[in-house]
A and B are shown apart, each in its own frame.
Chain A
Amino acid sequence: MKRFMAVVLVLVCVFLFAAQSASAQGKLEIFSWWAGDEGPALQALIDRYSTLYPTIGVVNSTVTGGSGVNARAVLKTRMLGGDPPDSFQVHAGQELIGTWVVAKRMEDLAPLFKSEGWTAKFPAGLVALLSSKGGIWSVPVNIHRSNVLWYLPAKLKEWGVTAPKTWDEFLSTCAALRAKGLQSPLVVGESWTYQHLWESVALGVLGPDDWSALWSGKLKFNDPKAVKVWETFGKVLSYANADASGLSWQQATDRLVKGDAAFNIMGDWAAGYMVTTLKLKPNADFGWAASPGTAGVFMMLSDSFGIPLGVKNHDAAVKWIKLLASKEGQDIFNPLKGSIAARLDSDMTKYNAYSQSAAKDWQSGKIVGSLVHGAVAPESFNSQFGTVMDIFLNGMNAKAAANAAQAIADQVGLGK
């Protein structure tokens, strides 16, 4: 009997111990995948928010994992579980629209855009990507470019080659480099970086109009033009490193910097990494160009924040959105993150040489959306695109991959 009471006592203690719950004055919960190297930028924004609104306690919920793959799964369970965060990071475009907006889970921010006059402050092409069925669904914090080719000017000079302007030039340059003894002129990393490379190849082979046609359903994936993308991709991969699967994108960039590779296709967060972590200087130490065949086209991705329906701290969330869309907020965040502001009126003196060049391209170039980073295709397509990539990598069969991609597009109802 004594033991019985002891057990009950333990239970009571545990219950009391666990029952202490914090009840803050005002609260705001932000959900993102910005941890590690990208954490400081978000923290700077949060600090600014806390200075502006000292009575609101900010809870910074992050889920680590490259490009948000894990965060999206966690977000899913929370949204489904009826416990949405007050605001969450999501890639602007179809990742949000095709998943949450069509399911009627997000608050329409169009009235806010109107009252704050934001529509004029962002490029029209961007606002178009954010919109669906008359509503605007998230506020873009930053802009990253996907189709960038990175190289070290000094090493290229040493090898006697220049940055290729088309994919055919790329292939012949790589062949030349291999003849000189550089076994893997192109460095790639783990799975999603393959897809990232693919979309640059696709953009280069198809051109911006056909690229957009894929996503509106006008061009089929097994159209001969699209099949050619896979064939080129296969040839490009033949110059890539064999141990790619084990490398994170930072490790791939490390290889480039060490001189074990000549080229790397990666988004411009690589610039942030090279400047902040590796302490290199843009133009002096590392160079960039648009991915072969994509000059004048800006393939964008954007991290944005929206407000789910039914959040607990609606006012606090709206204040957060307003800070994010403001010039001040964007210029606090982006220099630290290594991206450029989505706003057209940001203060360019705060940005490094790479960002300034990117901002010029942003304002003058043709804007298309990235596939891998959620702008042009919904999650249901993206999460299965990995399978298509696997099918291709296992057999290097362009037709099979193209058919698989079309099958997924059909199942998902792409472009409808």
Chain B
Amino acid sequence: MKRATWKSGIGGFLVLLPSLALLAVFVYWFIAKTVYSSLTDWGRDPAQALALKPVLRFIGLDNYRELFTGLIDGRFRQDMVSTLFFTFFFILGCLSLGLVLAILVDRKPRGEGLFRSIFLFPFSLSFVVTGTIWRWLLQPKGGINRLPTLVGLPPGDFAWLTSRQQVWRFDWSLLPLFFALLLALLFAFLALSALRAGRRRGAGIAAVSALLLGLWALGPGRSLKLLDFPELHGFNLAFIGILVAAIWQMAGYTMALYLAGLRGIPEELREAALVDGATEWQIHTRIILPLLAPVTLSAMIILGHISLKIFDLVFAMAGPDNGSTDVPALLMFITTFRGNQFAKGAAIGVILLVLVAVIILPYLRSQLRREELS
């Protein structure tokens, strides 16, 4: 890396300045404004909501409190649960399909270039286009449900996007308990690995944290009541349709990432393993998959952040009024532009931002630190 002289350092900074200034405003200043809006009452009173110069009152975290524990914001809570399920299955589906396709294409079958193009082309489409096509395909009385009839079987009768079925239901008040248990497990795992690495103090801290979280979860956590009444949330089966369309769109991109990763694995490793008598399966699970871990991580981060803010696809596939396929980004749009509740919409936006930041910031930090070290 070329080290700059003082003068050209200033020069470099000046070249960057317009971009820095623009991003400072369009990203950071706007985020600050959104956070501020979310702490006001903008939109509660229709007279104030759309007025030319609305008078805003600061109300602190009320909007957030309502979103998480208020009576009428059950839709938001279901959206959060839906998003978690959706993200999980979306990443799982893309990674699996992308990996399988990458391994197969990497073997250089006949027509490799053609296969690669076919698998990758959906990535060039807009989510709106994808949503439009799949909406037509997933109509309950046509499209995919009619496929079995082509081979003489009875038509499928799953309602796809209009399904109201929900599985794996749990009460909202149990959510902190789940999270605490999850964190406790994570800490226990960290404690074990720290112990193995010989870091006694780190292991001790982690173990104690795990214990405390676990005790809280099984004790006081169980009687925590976030809402006045039980509110069940679960995985809406209507999301299966959205998952199919989303995986159709993004699996090719994941495949490309894995292909790049596979190219980086030296052939000699594989040949050496074959000589040692390993089976194909063992080669894949013991050697290749671990070596692909960085790619997997990258892909998870990118796919995760796409799925957390997914909007266009759901809007095009199910419209803004289909309760079973609602996602936070869509809710934010409707709350703001239809319900005129600007402050609450801003709060949803901030929550989305926090979710994304929790994933992205550690990743960015580790990537940049890795660069520094190399």
Is there contact, CB below 8 Å, between B71 and A407? yes
Other than the known A69-B321, A72-B338, A393-B164, what 8 A-B pairs have Cβ atoms closer than 8 Å?
Answer: A73-B338, A99-B340, A103-B47, A105-B51, A245-B322, A379-B46, A383-B338, A387-B74
A411–B50 touching, CB < 8 Å: no
Residues of B with C-beta under 8 A to A102:
46-47
Interface residue count on the B side (C-beta < 8 Å): 36
Take A245-B159, A379-B339 as given contacts and tell me if A104 and B71 are in contact as well, using a CB distance cutoff of 8 Å.
no
Over the window 378-416 of chain A, the binary record of Cβ atoms lying under 8 Å from chain B Cβ atoms (1 yes, 0 no) is 111001101110110111000010011001100111000
Closest Cβ–Cβ distance, residue B294 to chain A (whole Å): 35
Task: Let me know if A386 and B323 touch, CB within 8 A.
Answer: yes
Question: Given contacts A76-B338, A380-B341, is CB(A246)–CB(B46) below 8 Å?
Answer: no
Residues from chain B with a CB closer than 8 A to the CB of A76 are 50, 337-338, 340
CB A88 to nearest CB in B, in angstroms, measures 14
Q: A386: nearest residue on chain B (CB-CB)?
A: B321
Q: A72-B338, A76-B337 are known contacts. Are A246 and B75 too (CB-CB below 8 A)?
A: no
Q: Can you identify 8 A-B contacts, CB atoms within 8 angstroms?
A: A190-B162, A243-B141, A246-B162, A387-B323, A395-B232, A404-B72, A408-B72, A413-B45
With the chains together, A245 CA to B165 CA distance in Å?
12
**Min CB distance, B349 to chain A, in Å?**
16
The 5 A-B residue pairs whose C-beta atoms are closest, nearest first, are: A245-B162, A102-B47, A103-B50, A383-B339, A390-B323
Please tell me if the beta carbons of A80 and B50 are within 8 angstroms of each other in the complex.
yes
Knowing A77-B337, A245-B159, A379-B340 touch, does A98 contact B46 (C-beta < 8 A)? yes
State whether the Cβ of A192 lies closer than 8 Å to any Cβ in chain B: yes
Using CB atoms and an 8 Å cutoff, list the residues of chain B in contact with chain A.
43-52, 70-72, 74-75, 139-141, 159, 161-162, 164, 166, 229, 232, 320-323, 333-334, 337-341
Is A243 touching B321 in the complex (CB atoms < 8 A)?
no
Using Cβ atoms and an 8 Å threshold, which residues of chain A touch B71?
403-404, 407
Would B52 and A104 count as touching, CB distance under 8 A? Answer: yes
Q: Which residues of B contact A236 (CB under 8 A)?
A: none
* Beta-carbon contact of A69 and B320 below 8 Å: yes
Taking CB atoms and an 8 Å cut-off, the chain A residues in 169-195 that contact chain B are 190-192
Query: Which residues of chain A have C-beta atoms less than 8 A from B229's C-beta?
Result: 400
Nearest opposing residue in chain B for A65, CB measure: B319
Are B338 and A379 neighbours in the complex by a CB distance under 8 Å? Answer: yes
Q: Considering the complex, give the chain A residue whose CB is closest to the CB of B323.
A: A390
Cβ–Cβ < 8 Å partners of A245 in chain B = 159, 162, 164, 322
Query: Within 8 Å CB of A400, what residues of B?
Result: 229
In the complex, which residues of chain B have a beta carbon less than 8 angstroms from the beta carbon of A273? none
Q: Which of B162, B320, B338 contacts A243 (CB 8 A)?
A: B162
Which residues on A sit within 8 Å (CB–CB) of B43? 380
Contact across chains for A100 and B50 when beta carbons are under 8 A apart: yes
